[in-house]
Amino acid sequence: MKIKDKAAAVCDLLDGIYPAAVCSLQYDKPYELMIAVRLSAQCTDARVNQIAPSLFRQFPTLQSFAEAELTALEQAVKPCGFYHAKAKSIKEMCTILIERFGGEVPDNMDDLLTLPGIGRKTANLLLGDVYGQPAVVTDTHCIRIAGRLGLTKRHAPEQVEEDLRKVLPPERSSRFCHQIVLFGRDTCRARNPLCEGCPLKAYCVDPSFTKNPNQKKR
């Protein structure tokens, strides 16, 4: 099977399992997603969603984040960890959005990467979820499972993104990445994946799973 055909078949199966897959971070405005993603670094989405409602009530506008006292912002985001760095970059990125981009989250990769705390993974998420552009978010689930499925042989996020852009249908790539996160949590786990009965087992190229999945421990 050609790799593009395999990628399309995987997308079909994931559509059947997770037809309504969306970003697990909760937000109402584009800049809120930007902030939530920054908070999620080395923190669970569940924890971010716990503090996000009170955070966005305390700082209800982009301007209020830009003008916030840094110490107050640090305390508000402290439960997400690394709060000094996160608060600083959130305040700076909100200031830049106002001063340079008219208060709007940029709709292109180059401008997004000029914002403090924004890397390609975050930029891709924003482009896909906010603007509906073809996007590939290479988080740990995506990198791991894409490798197991033989969609890439590389491991660096930017390299995996490059490989997946070549094989995924562009209009499905953003949804694929949300689906693969759910699949990674439910089935294709980093350790002790549930290989028996896995709906994507036929496409797995990792011999340690396909030969004897019940004995595989990671």
User: Backbone dihedral region of 26: left (phi > 0), alpha (psi from -120 to 50 degrees) or beta?
Assistant: beta
What confidence tens digit (pLDDT) does each residue in 98-109 have?
999 999 999 999
What confidence tens digit (pLDDT) does each residue in 39-63 have?
999 999 999 999 999 999 999 999 9
Q: Write b or e for each residue in 92-118: b if 16 or more Cβ atoms lie within 10 A of its Cβ, otherwise e.
A: ebbbbbbeeeeeebbeeeeebeebebb
Six token digits for residue 19: 């037809």
| Distance separating alpha carbons of residues 100 and 82, to the nearest angstrom | 27
* Inter-axis angle of helices 30-39 and 83-101, nearest 10: 150
For the chain, list the domains and their CATH numbers: 3-21+136-207 (1.10.1670.10), 30-131 (1.10.340.30)
Q: Is the pLDDT of residue 130 over 60?
A: yes
pLDDT at res. 208: 73
pLDDT at res. 206: 87
Q: Point out the residues that are catalytic.
A: 121, 139
Whether the Cβ atoms of residue 38 and residue 93 lie closer than 8 Å to each other: yes
pLDDT at res. 211: 56
**Three-state secondary-structure class, residue 187:** coil
One-letter amino acid for residue 30 of the chain: P
What does the pLDDT average to over 123-140?
Answer: 97
What confidence tens digit (pLDDT) does each residue in 75-116 have?
999 999 999 999 999 999 999 999 999 999 999 999 999 999
